[in-house]
Amino acid sequence: MQTTLSTSVRFEGTALHSGLPVALTVHPAAPGHGVVFHRLDLDRPLRECRVKVGPEQLIEANLCTKIGNEYGVTVATIEHLMAALAGCGIHNARITLDGPEVPILDGSSRPFVTAFVAVGAREQNAPLRAIRLRKPVEVRMGDAWARLEPASHLSIAFEIDFPDAAIGHQTCELDLCNGAFVRELSDCRTFCRQEDVDRMRANGLALGGTYENAVVVKGGAVLSPGGLRRSDEPVRHKMLDAMGDLAVAGAPIIGRYVGHRAGHTLTGRLVRALLADRSAWDWVVVDGASAHSMPGAGVSAEDLLATA
């Protein structure tokens, strides 16, 4: 069945790119509502301040996942929150925030997941539909590519290759069933190279980034205090990002995602390409036999202990 949060949860933090303070609250929502953002900082009619998450609302942005509506209202850096909602199996949520960006918090999905697990989810009287792959769909940009292919459940495989020895060549593949997102990916932080930080700040971006909310590397050194949370934290964070970007489809996806040097833009294009090819997928109702294989099935506080 569809689910929503049992009660509202509030977060306060800093926007990654603007550096401005932002408060955000995730509220329960009715069945069929989906995930809808509502900007509270705009003096505009209510309908103009709402942005519903969906592939039609995607705006291509290299450094984050961004959505917007027909009135020009946007919400950026939604990927870690969307990954947390998907990974905890939360299908309906109304999200209010007082700025154009979701707060970066610690650079991962863990603060969102911790709050969601603490308040719990409420099952709703409405069946859950999912998008099941019927054939592979692939998109490419230069030497980067991303593909979705048929599978019995959601899994993500990723490969990255960076010149910095602190990252280097990393691969990882996980089945995202039964709380695996919470245990294996939710604590993995965004990462960047020191030279990228310098370039972004010179262009007025990443003003809210710190060594505490991102893993910053230079050559073979990890500059962030405490080092890596996991030896392959960078590739796992790319998988976390992919989880959030796939959630922009508006329904759970049953299939295998494979990414090679892929980013937000490429995964967004993949979601759009999938939904545009009606022969590539089917709507399916998640029944009792398949419910256990969904990402949020069985998530509990014990799953969070693996990330402590």
**Which of 274, 249, 306 shows the shortest CA–CA distance to 86?**
249
Q: Which among 80, 91, 237, 264 is annotated as catalytic?
A: 264
CB atoms closer than 10 angstroms to residue 12: 12
Please check whether residue 120 is in contact with residue 300, taking contact to mean a CB–CB distance below 8 angstroms.
no
Active site residue 264: yes
111 Cα distance to chain centroid? 13
How far apart CA 80 and CA 245 sit, in angstroms, is 9
User: In the numeric block, which tokens belong to residue 220?
Assistant: 């073979």
Question: Does residue 271 contact residue 243 with C-beta atoms inside 8 Å?
Answer: no
Catalytic (active-site) positions: 264
